[in-house]
Amino acid sequence: MSSQHDCCSHMTRFLHDEAEAKTPWLISKYVQAHVARCTPCRKTLESLRRLLTGLKEFRQTPIPDDAKDRLMNGKWRGALTDDADTKGN
Protein backbone atom coordinates (compact mmCIF):
# COMPACT_ATOMS: atom_id res chain seq x y z
CA MET A 1 0.00 0.00 0.00
CA SER A 2 1.63 3.25 -0.98
CA SER A 3 -0.03 4.82 1.91
CA GLN A 4 -3.22 2.81 1.73
CA HIS A 5 -2.28 0.38 -1.05
CA ASP A 6 -4.40 2.55 -3.35
CA CYS A 7 -6.91 -0.15 -4.08
CA CYS A 8 -9.33 0.23 -6.99
CA SER A 9 -12.07 2.60 -5.88
CA HIS A 10 -14.90 0.39 -7.15
CA MET A 11 -13.54 -2.48 -5.02
CA THR A 12 -13.50 -0.69 -1.67
CA ARG A 13 -16.84 -1.96 -0.39
CA PHE A 14 -16.22 -5.47 -1.72
CA LEU A 15 -12.81 -5.66 -0.06
CA HIS A 16 -14.18 -4.60 3.30
CA ASP A 17 -17.04 -7.06 3.00
CA GLU A 18 -14.66 -9.83 1.94
CA ALA A 19 -12.34 -9.08 4.86
CA GLU A 20 -15.37 -9.46 7.14
CA ALA A 21 -16.35 -12.65 5.30
CA LYS A 22 -19.70 -11.07 4.52
CA THR A 23 -19.67 -11.28 0.75
CA PRO A 24 -22.15 -13.54 -1.03
CA TRP A 25 -20.56 -16.48 -2.83
CA LEU A 26 -20.63 -14.97 -6.32
CA ILE A 27 -19.22 -11.62 -5.24
CA SER A 28 -16.59 -13.42 -3.22
CA LYS A 29 -15.51 -15.26 -6.38
CA TYR A 30 -15.34 -11.94 -8.20
CA VAL A 31 -13.23 -10.41 -5.43
CA GLN A 32 -10.90 -13.39 -5.42
CA ALA A 33 -10.48 -13.18 -9.17
CA HIS A 34 -9.81 -9.47 -8.95
CA VAL A 35 -7.24 -9.64 -6.15
CA ALA A 36 -5.45 -12.47 -7.97
CA ARG A 37 -4.43 -9.97 -10.66
CA CYS A 38 -4.46 -6.68 -8.76
CA THR A 39 -1.64 -6.27 -6.26
CA PRO A 40 -2.90 -3.08 -4.54
CA CYS A 41 -6.31 -4.65 -3.91
CA ARG A 42 -4.71 -7.90 -2.71
CA LYS A 43 -2.52 -5.98 -0.27
CA THR A 44 -5.48 -3.93 0.91
CA LEU A 45 -7.49 -7.09 1.52
CA GLU A 46 -4.62 -8.71 3.44
CA SER A 47 -4.15 -5.54 5.46
CA LEU A 48 -7.85 -5.33 6.30
CA ARG A 49 -7.91 -8.97 7.38
CA ARG A 50 -4.93 -8.43 9.70
CA LEU A 51 -6.55 -5.31 11.10
CA LEU A 52 -9.88 -7.02 11.78
CA THR A 53 -8.16 -10.03 13.33
CA GLY A 54 -6.22 -7.73 15.65
CA LEU A 55 -9.34 -5.78 16.60
CA LYS A 56 -11.35 -8.93 17.30
CA GLU A 57 -8.74 -9.95 19.87
CA PHE A 58 -9.79 -6.94 21.93
CA ARG A 59 -13.03 -8.76 22.63
CA GLN A 60 -11.03 -10.90 25.02
CA THR A 61 -10.46 -7.90 27.31
CA PRO A 62 -11.94 -9.03 30.62
CA ILE A 63 -13.60 -6.80 33.15
CA PRO A 64 -11.45 -6.85 36.31
CA ASP A 65 -13.13 -8.68 39.19
CA ASP A 66 -12.96 -5.70 41.54
CA ALA A 67 -14.51 -3.37 38.96
CA LYS A 68 -17.20 -5.96 38.27
CA ASP A 69 -18.03 -6.22 41.98
CA ARG A 70 -18.19 -2.44 42.37
CA LEU A 71 -20.38 -2.03 39.30
CA MET A 72 -22.73 -4.88 40.19
CA ASN A 73 -23.21 -3.35 43.62
CA GLY A 74 -23.17 0.29 42.53
CA LYS A 75 -25.61 3.16 42.98
CA TRP A 76 -28.07 1.69 40.47
CA ARG A 77 -28.95 -1.00 42.98
CA GLY A 78 -30.09 1.66 45.45
CA ALA A 79 -32.13 3.36 42.74
CA LEU A 80 -33.77 0.05 41.93
CA THR A 81 -34.67 -0.54 45.58
CA ASP A 82 -35.95 3.03 46.02
CA ASP A 83 -38.05 2.67 42.90
CA ALA A 84 -39.55 -0.60 44.11
CA ASP A 85 -40.24 0.88 47.55
CA THR A 86 -41.96 3.92 46.04
CA LYS A 87 -44.15 1.80 43.82
CA GLY A 88 -44.84 -0.64 46.64
CA ASN A 89 -46.15 2.16 48.81
Partner 1 sequence: MASLATNANSALTTAMVVDKSNFEAVIARELPVLYRVALRLCLNPTVAEDVVGLTLVRAVGAWDRFDGQYERSWLLTILRREYLAHIRRASSSELSLDSFTQDGVEIPSGDTNATDKIDLERALAALDDIDRTLIILSDIEEMGAKEISEITGIYPATVRTRIFRARQRLRRILLSFGENL
* Cα of 10 vs its chain's centroid, Å: 22
Q: Which is nearer to partner 1, 10 or 56 (CB)?
A: 56
Shortest Cβ 75–partner 1 spacing (Å): 5
Q: For residue 6, what is the DSSP state?
A: T
Nearer to partner 1, 12 or 32 (CB): 12
Continuous segment of H or E residues that includes residue 24: none
Q: Which is nearer to partner 1, 33 or 71 (CB)?
A: 71
Collapsing DSSP states into helix, strand and coil, what is residue 31? Answer: helix
Exposed / middle / buried, residue 86 (Cβ in 10 Å: 0-12, 13-18, 19+): exposed
Rounded least distance, CB 42 to partner 1, Å? 13
CB closer to partner 1 out of 24 and 88? 88
In the complex, the residues that contact partner 1 under the rule CB under 8 A are: 1, 3-4, 12-13, 16, 47-48, 50-52, 54-59, 61-64, 67-68, 70-72, 74-76, 79-80, 83-84, 87-88
- For residue 45, give the nearest of 89, 13, 87 by alpha carbon: 13
